[in-house]
Amino acid sequence: MAGLCPLICWETIMTSSYPSVTRVLAEALVDVLWFIEGSEDEQMDQDDAVKVMEGVAHTLSTLPDDQRQELVALVGEMAAAETDSARREFLDEFPEGFGLVDDEL
């Protein structure tokens, strides 16, 4: 039973920190893309970084409108709460940069 405590405690913390699985996945995705965006040549091959970013943009651009709008709203909430100005700028540009909004909007 003692071996289950770390798992149970971790799940309790995670479920109380995030209102939905969509929110936690959005935050995880943004964290990964923020890392890739800021990585140097020594950390990650830049061609590979571009491929990943373009792949994510393509995948997100194929979401149905309601899911794209939900993700745009979540990223907007994240940007509003962000204290780091560079990360806030990344979040502000995220919807357009990753194909969540049309250029016409």
Between 2 and 99, the more confident residue is: 99
Name the DSSP letter for residue 59.
Answer: H
Percent of the chain with pLDDT over 90: 63
Distance, first Cα to last Cα, the chain: 54
User: What pLDDT digit, counting tens, does each position of 73-101 carry?
Assistant: 999 999 999 999 999 999 999 999 998 98
Q: Which tokens in the block code for residue 23?
A: 């929110």
Q: Is there a contact between 71 and 43 (Cβ–Cβ < 8 Å)?
A: no
Q: Tokens standing for 39?
A: 């990585």
The confidence score (pLDDT) of residue 8 equals: 46
Mean pLDDT calculated for residue range 12-26: 71
Q: What is residue 51's predicted lDDT score, i.e. its pLDDT?
A: 95
56-67 pLDDT tens trace: 999 999 999 999
